[in-house]
């Protein structure tokens, strides 16, 4: 339909051809307006895709958080079960102590009975000693009446009297000591004996311990039930997050297809020969790609680099960089050759954001000068925006542009500037071919 655009038109046109020319011109204007509308739709689709990406990241983070929460709840549940086991063991130990206390109480009661028997025996000894002293006294009186004949008997009587006094004193001391010990044992026995009306300190302490253990056990049981409910709810939320993630993926894939469809429509219109708004940038990208290709081919001819080094895919990480930077065997060559072409193309329009050459894996050895700032240690946000060289951009857009082998490729996307800032861009890409071998792609990004 639009073949006349490429082939040109005759300077002499018959009057009968004038309506056809007007129709073609009107159709051309319609196609241009359609291309602009499709471009606007692509912009909206890119924004939607970006919003879905943000939401997807949030949902993924929530899913990970829910998984971590579920694991923590499981651990807390295990701890609650251990507490319940420990409190049950504590309650059993308290019961065993009570039983042991009862046994001790019985033994103390037996001791008290034995001491009572000893006290009774000591009292009997006291009585006997009193009687012995009385007999010795009477014997001494009789010996005195007997005169010289009873003198020896009197000595014996006095000795018996003295011994009886000692026995009486000892027995009284025994009785007093037993009485004091008996009083102590009685008090101890009272402490050991359980009395519901007036509990002893020991039994009161046991009762408090039992109550505390019971409260702990009850609290542990209640907490366990709550943890079980929370655990079930956490698993439900985890399932809901997974469902939401799946739904977002479906929406994301749909928006991705819609975005690509709008890009392909603009590409097809441009390929038909219609001068769409993006055509100057497409031609600039193709021209820059051709110049880069010529420079690399010349470098191979002159022996500045070998083909093996030029197509090096051994990306060696640069230590201490964040975002991660890498180096390859062709970095010095691209640093020397690429800026002349890239910086010149960058000045083509104030709408151009960057012009870079990526190898087929999305690796950018040499970026535009303003984005080749040395990284600042610990400042990831600044590095993301200003140190974009020596990095691998293997996202959807980066790989598509790097691996494109068609004459050109149009894409619409959000560029991550770091710190949660994004810029909506269009990108025209053209392949870089070195001696018939695809090296990568020239990426020309510009604002709407």
More confident residue, 59 or 282: 282
Closest CA to 284 of 273, 292, 274: 292
Whether the pLDDT of residue 414 is over 70: the answer is yes
Surface-to-core class of residue 12, CB atoms within 10 Å of its CB (0-12 exposed, 13-18 middle, 19+ buried): exposed
Q: Average pLDDT over the chain, rounded to whole?
A: 77
Whether the pLDDT of residue 1 is over 50: the answer is no
Cβ-count burial 57-82 (b if 16+ within 10 Å, e if not): eebeebbeebeebbeebeebbeebee
Whether the pLDDT of residue 13 is over 60: the answer is no
Q: Compute the distance between CA of residue 445 and CA of residue 430 in angstroms, rounded to an integer.
A: 12
Q: Compute the distance between CA of residue 373 and CA of residue 290 in angstroms, rounded to an integer.
A: 27
- Name the most confidently modeled range: 117-126, 205-214, 326-335: 326-335
Whether the pLDDT of residue 3 is over 80: the answer is no
Encoded tokens for 91 = 């309650």
The whole-number pLDDT of residue 428 equals: 94
The whole-number pLDDT of residue 200 equals: 66
Whether the pLDDT of residue 448 is over 70: the answer is yes
Encoded tokens for 97 = 């102590």
The whole-number pLDDT of residue 272 equals: 66
Q: Which whole number is the average pLDDT over 415-442?
A: 87
Tens-digit pLDDT profile for residues 345-374: 999 999 999 999 999 999 999 999 999 999
With beta carbons less than 8 A apart as the criterion, state whether 186 and 112 touch: yes
Tens-digit pLDDT profile for residues 285-319: 999 999 999 999 999 999 999 999 999 999 999 99
89 phi and psi angles, rounded to 5 deg: -65, -40
Whether the pLDDT of residue 18 is over 70: the answer is no
Whether the pLDDT of residue 273 is over 80: the answer is no
Q: Which residue has tokens 């602009």?
A: 36
Q: Compute the distance between CA of residue 273 and CA of residue 262 in angstroms, rounded to an integer.
A: 18
Encoded tokens for 128 = 């006997």
Q: Compute the distance between CA of residue 206 and CA of residue 192 in angstroms, rounded to an integer.
A: 11
Q: Which whole number is the average pLDDT over 60-89?
A: 70
Surface-to-core class of residue 281, CB atoms within 10 Å of its CB (0-12 exposed, 13-18 middle, 19+ buried): buried
Any residues with CB less than 8 A from the CB of 155 and at least 6 apart, and which?
none
Strands 363-364 and 409-418: unpaired
More confident residue, 156 or 309: 309
In whole angstroms, what separates CA 243 from the centre of its chain? 21
Q: Which whole number is the average pLDDT over 39-55?
A: 61
Q: Compute the distance between CA of residue 276 and CA of residue 401 in angstroms, rounded to an integer.
A: 20
Q: Which whole number is the average pLDDT over 251-274?
A: 64
Q: Which whole number is the average pLDDT over 407-436?
A: 85
For 13-27, 135-149, 204-218, 228-242, which range has the lowest pLDDT when averaged over its residues? 13-27
* DSSP bridge pairs for 177: none
pLDDT band at residue 6 under the 50/70/90 scheme: very low
Share of the chain above pLDDT 70, in %: 60
Secondary structure letter of residue 437 according to DSSP: E
More confident residue, 267 or 293: 293
Q: Compute the distance between CA of residue 290 and CA of residue 360 in angstroms, rounded to an integer.
A: 16
* Sign of the torsion formed by the C-alpha atoms of 163, 168, 172 and 174: positive
Does the bond joining 323 to the residue before it have cis omega, within 30 degrees of 0? Answer: yes
Domain ranges of the chain: 71-226, 278-446
What CATH number does the domain located at 71-226 have? 1.10.287.950
Whether the pLDDT of residue 206 is over 70: the answer is no
Q: Note the CATH architecture for domain 278-446.
A: 2-Layer Sandwich (3.30)
The whole-number pLDDT of residue 179 equals: 76
Encoded tokens for 12 = 């002499």
Strands 326-327 and 316-317: antiparallel
pLDDT band at residue 29 under the 50/70/90 scheme: low
Whether the pLDDT of residue 185 is over 60: the answer is yes
With beta carbons less than 8 A apart as the criterion, state whether 336 and 425 touch: no
The whole-number pLDDT of residue 5 equals: 33
The whole-number pLDDT of residue 255 equals: 60
Element (H, E) at 242: helix 201-271
Whether the pLDDT of residue 180 is over 60: the answer is yes
SS3 category, 433:
strand
Q: Which whole number is the average pLDDT over 97-110?
A: 69
Q: Which whole number is the average pLDDT over 282-287?
A: 96
Helices 279-301 and 331-346: crossing angle in degrees, nearest 10, is: 150
Model pTM?
A: 0.54
Q: Compute the distance between CA of residue 432 and CA of residue 62 in angstroms, rounded to an integer.
A: 42
pLDDT band at residue 199 under the 50/70/90 scheme: low
């Amino acid at each position: 339909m639009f073949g006349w655009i490429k082939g040109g038109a005759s300077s002499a046109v018959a009057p009968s051809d004038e309506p056809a020319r007007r129709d073609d011109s009107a159709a051309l204007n319609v196609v241009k307006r359609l291309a602009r509308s499709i471009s606007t739709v692509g912009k909206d689709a890119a924004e939607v895709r970006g919003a879905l990406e943000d939401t997807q990241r949030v949902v993924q983070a929530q899913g990970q958080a829910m998984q971590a929460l579920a694991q923590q709840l499981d651990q807390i549940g295990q701890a609650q079960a251990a507490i319940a086991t420990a409190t049950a063991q504590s309650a059993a130990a308290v019961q065993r102590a009570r039983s042991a206390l009862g046994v001790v109480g019985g033994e103390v009661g037996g001791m008290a009975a034995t001491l009572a028997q000893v006290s009774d025996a000591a009292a009997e000894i006291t009585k006997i000693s009193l009687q012995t002293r009385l007999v010795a006294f009477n014997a001494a009186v009789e010996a005195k009446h007997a005169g010289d004949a009873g003198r020896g008997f009197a000595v014996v009587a006095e000795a018996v009297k003295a011994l009886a006094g000692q026995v009486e004193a000892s027995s009284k001391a025994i009785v007093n000591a037993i009485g004091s010990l008996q009083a102590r044992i009685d008090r101890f026995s009272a402490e050991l004996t359980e009395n519901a009306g007036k509990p002893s300190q020991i039994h009161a302490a046991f009762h408090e311990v039992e109550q505390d253990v019971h409260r702990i056990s009850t609290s542990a049981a209640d907490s366990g039930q709550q943890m079980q409910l929370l655990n079930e709810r956490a698993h439900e939320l985890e399932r809901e997050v997974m469902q939401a993630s799946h739904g977002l993926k479906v929406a994301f894939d749909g928006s991705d297809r819609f975005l690509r469809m709008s890009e392909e429509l603009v590409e097809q219109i441009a390929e038909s020969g219609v001068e769409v708004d993006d055509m100057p940038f497409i031609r600039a990208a193709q021209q820059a790609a051709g110049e880069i290709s010529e420079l690399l081919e010349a470098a191979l001819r002159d022996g500045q680099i070998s083909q093996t080094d030029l197509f090096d895919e051994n990306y060696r990480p640069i230590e201490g960089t964040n975002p991660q930077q890498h180096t390859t065997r062709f970095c010095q060559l691209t640093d020397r050759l690429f800026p002349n072409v890239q910086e010149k193309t960058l000045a083509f329009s104030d709408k151009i954001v960057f012009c870079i050459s990526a190898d087929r894996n999305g690796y950018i050895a040499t970026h535009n000068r303003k984005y080749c700032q040395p990284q600042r240690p610990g400042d990831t946000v600044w590095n993301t925006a200003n140190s974009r060289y020596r990095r691998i951009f293997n996202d959807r857009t980066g790989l598509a542009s790097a691996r494109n082998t068609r004459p050109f490729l149009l894409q619409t996307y959000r560029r991550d500037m770091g710190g949660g800032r994004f810029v909506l861009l269009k990108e025209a890409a053209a392949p870089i071919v070195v001696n018939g071998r695809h090296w990568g792609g020239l990426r020309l990004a510009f604002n709407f």
